[in-house]
Chain A
Amino acid sequence: MTIAVLLKQVPDTTARITVSGGMVDEAAVGKWSMSPYDEYALEYALQLKESGGDDLIAITCGPARASKILTDAAAVGADSLVHVLTEDSGMDSSNVQSLLAAAIRHVGADVVLCGKQAADTNAGSTGPGVASILGFTCVGMVSEVSTDADGFLAMRMSPSGNEKVSVSKPCLFAFDKASMEMRRPNVRGIMMAKKKAVESLTPTDLGVSLIDSRVSLESHSAPAEKPPGQKFEGASSVPTVVSKLRDEANVI
Chain B
Amino acid sequence: MPYDALDFYDVDSLLTEEERMVRDMVRDFVDNEVLPKIEHACRDGVFPDEWREELGNMGVLGAPLEGYGCPGLSYAAYGVICRELERGDSGLRSFASVQGSLAMYPIWDFGSEDQKNHYLPKMASGEWIGCFGLTEPDYGSNPGDMITRAEDMGDHYLLNGAKMWITNGTNAQVAVVWAKLDGVIRGFIVEKDDEGFSAPEMKGKHSLKASVTSELVFQDCKIPKDRILPGVKGLRGPFSCLNNARYGISWGAIGAAQACFDSAREYALSRIQFEHPIASYQLVQNKLSWMLREITKAQLLAFHLSQKKDAGTWIPEHISLAKMNNVDIALEIARVARDIHGANGILDEYPVMRHMANLESVKTYEGTHDIHNLILGRHITGIQAFTRSIE
Where the two chains meet, the residues of A that have a C-beta atom closer than 8 Å to any C-beta of B are: 12, 14, 30-31, 71-72, 75, 184-188, 190-191, 193-194
Report how far A30 CA is from B4 CA in the complex, Å: 10
Q: A71-B17, A190-B18, A194-B17 are in contact. Are A185 and B25 (CB under 8 A)?
A: yes
Q: A71-B17, A75-B21, A193-B21 are in contact. Are A187 and B2 (CB under 8 A)?
A: no
Report how far A251 CA is from B112 CA in the complex, Å: 67
Taking CB atoms, residues of chain A closer than 8 Å to B18 are 190-191, 194
Q: A14-B2, A184-B28, A191-B71 are in contact. List 20 more A-B contacts (CB 8 A).
A: A12-B2, A31-B4, A71-B17, A72-B21, A75-B21, A184-B25, A184-B29, A186-B25, A186-B58, A186-B59, A187-B22, A187-B25, A187-B58, A187-B59, A187-B63, A187-B73, A188-B71, A190-B18, A191-B18, A191-B73
Report how far A187 CA is from B56 CA in the complex, Å: 10
Report how far A185 CA is from B25 CA in the complex, Å: 7
Report how far A47 CA is from B64 CA in the complex, Å: 31
Binary flags per residue of B20-34, CB closer than 8 Å to A gives 1, else 0: 011001001100000
Report how far A186 CA is from B22 CA in the complex, Å: 8
Taking CB atoms, residues of chain A closer than 8 Å to B82 are none
Q: CB-nearest residue of chain A relative to B16?
A: A194
Q: Are B21 and A184 in contact (CB under 8 A)?
A: no
Q: A14-B4, A191-B71 are in contact. Are A186 and B57 (CB under 8 A)?
A: yes
Q: CB-nearest residue of chain B relative to A12?
A: B2
CB distance from B35 to the nearest CB of A (A): 15
Q: Are B21 and A190 in contact (CB under 8 A)?
A: yes
Q: Are B1 and A14 in contact (CB under 8 A)?
A: yes
Q: CB-nearest residue of chain A relative to B61?
A: A187
Taking CB atoms, residues of chain A closer than 8 Å to B58 are 184, 186-187
Taking CB atoms, residues of chain A closer than 8 Å to B63 are 187
Report how far A149 CA is from B57 CA in the complex, Å: 32
Interface residues of B in 1-56 (CB under 8 A from A): 1-2, 4, 17-18, 21-22, 25, 28-29
Taking CB atoms, residues of chain B closer than 8 Å to A188 are 59, 71
Q: Are A185 and B21 in contact (CB under 8 A)?
A: yes
Report how far A191 CA is from B25 CA in the complex, Å: 13
Taking CB atoms, residues of chain A closer than 8 Å to B73 are 187, 191
CB distance from B268 to the nearest CB of A (A): 19
Taking CB atoms, residues of chain A closer than 8 Å to B71 are 187-188, 191
Report how far A28 CA is from B176 CA in the complex, Å: 51
Closest CB pairs A-B (n = 7): A187-B59, A187-B71, A190-B21, A186-B59, A186-B58, A194-B18, A185-B25
- 21 residue pairs from A and B, CB less than 8 Å apart: A14-B1, A14-B4, A30-B4, A31-B4, A75-B21, A184-B25, A184-B29, A185-B21, A185-B25, A187-B22, A187-B58, A187-B59, A187-B60, A187-B63, A187-B73, A190-B22, A191-B71, A191-B73, A193-B21, A194-B17, A194-B18
CB distance from B15 to the nearest CB of A (A): 13
CB distance from A5 to the nearest CB of B (A): 19
Q: CB-nearest residue of chain A relative to B73?
A: A187
Q: Are A71 and B2 in contact (CB under 8 A)?
A: no
Taking CB atoms, residues of chain A closer than 8 Å to B28 are 184
Q: CB-nearest residue of chain B relative to A33?
A: B2
Report how far A64 CA is from B17 CA in the complex, Å: 15
CB distance from A172 to the nearest CB of B (A): 28
Q: CB-nearest residue of chain A relative to B29?
A: A184
CB distance from B31 to the nearest CB of A (A): 11
CB distance from A9 to the nearest CB of B (A): 14
Report how far A184 CA is from B17 CA in the complex, Å: 17
Q: CB-nearest residue of chain A relative to B2?
A: A14
Report how far A3 CA is from B1 CA in the complex, Å: 32
Partner pick for B25 among A14, A30, A190, CB 8 A cutoff: A190
Q: CB-nearest residue of chain B relative to A75?
A: B21
Q: CB-nearest residue of chain A relative to B57?
A: A186
CB distance from A158 to the nearest CB of B (A): 30
Report how far A56 CA is from B57 CA in the complex, Å: 22
Report how far A190 CA is from B18 CA in the complex, Å: 7
Taking CB atoms, residues of chain B closer than 8 Å to A31 are 4
CB distance from A161 to the nearest CB of B (A): 28
Report how far A14 CA is from B1 CA in the complex, Å: 7
Taking CB atoms, residues of chain A closer than 8 Å to B21 are 71-72, 75, 185, 190, 193
Report how far A148 CA is from B266 CA in the complex, Å: 50
CB distance from B12 to the nearest CB of A (A): 12
Binary flags per residue of B208-227, CB closer than 8 Å to A gives 1, else 0: 00000000000000000000
Taking CB atoms, residues of chain A closer than 8 Å to B57 are 186
CB distance from B91 to the nearest CB of A (A): 21
CB distance from B27 to the nearest CB of A (A): 10
